[in-house]
A and B are shown apart, each in its own frame.
Chain A
Amino acid sequence: MEYNKIPNHFENEKESIKKANEMLIKIFENKNPSIDTIKSIISEFHKYENQNSIEIFNKIERNINESAISVNKIGDIIKNTDDTIDSTNEFLKAWEKITAPINYYGKKLENLMMSKKNVSSIRHNLSIYVKIKDQVNELRNLLNSSDSNIVVVYKQIRYLTFLRVLLLEKVKSVDMIDKLNNLADHLLCVAHFEEEFFEKFWRYFQDTLQLANERPEFLVKLLRLIEEDPDYVRNIKIHFQMYNVCKHLYLFYLRNLKTNLRELIHKEHL
């Protein structure tokens, strides 16, 4: 295209600049201008050819050149973005590698905390058993002081025996035998007292005829203890099972909470 011809029919330069600007806007507005549009624009330009239009077209050319520079820059930015995405993916993989052992050790830690809890509960039980040794002595005195105390002592010794069975079960799963050295003595103390107690308890039935004659109510009490015994122990078992269910529910809740927290931290980090 030739821009050297200087039109003579325009008197006002300002008017020609305005028109040229309008056309320029049209060019930028039509990102994909049709052939008709271009033709119409060219014809328009032919109408308003003058010195200013040459400058305008030069300006347009400059703008186009600058746009090309911008396009190149945008290309660079896109490339950089791709690189960044690649590096982010690599980082994510690396993060997964890092978090895998952390999760693994987290589980180990959880187990460790659980066993620590078990050990502390066993220690607690142990401290109870230390008191039980004194309690057994008290029960022995109680048993010797009066026959009528046998009902109280019976209940106590049954409960202690039951606890002893439970504790023995727990101790099976603990490796810290050295920490539980004196436990056996305390358990043995209950076992000895149980033998001692029942030796006396069964001896009452030696004099069943005499008891039925002189103290029938006492004989009935003794028999009732035997009758109630399985139910009594079964009730304790039910309570213990309920306690276990609650404990498992609590642990399940804790585990879920931990998982959720871990996911939350992971998201926050990303």
Chain B
Amino acid sequence: MTRPQAPSVVQNSGQVLPAGHEPANLGDILERVLDRGIVIAGDIRVSLLDIELLTLKLRLVIASVDTARQIGIDWWEHDPWLSSRARPPVEPGPRDPEQVEAERRPRVAAKARRRDAELEEWNEFDG
């Protein structure tokens, strides 16, 4: 089979840009390998429902891990649901629970504010 010519990105200006970026966009690959392709019942049954939940969570995370890290989003690294390597933040030893709670509160509030801001921005386009 002859190798088809290089693909291109076509923009409205009529400008044609070379494409076929390597490596391909992770989102494009994931939607194909997770949702499409022939389903052959293997011996190892991993519930596809679990994978769907994963893609939903992924979509909440961000385009790619690297992009997310670059803009400082890394909370999934401490989310056991998303990372089997997740570890709780290192604590030097037993601490006064009240002090821990007092330190935690502003962080949680900041995180919630960030999330709300993101959701608002998200809804603006998708709503």
Chains A and B belong together in one complex: no
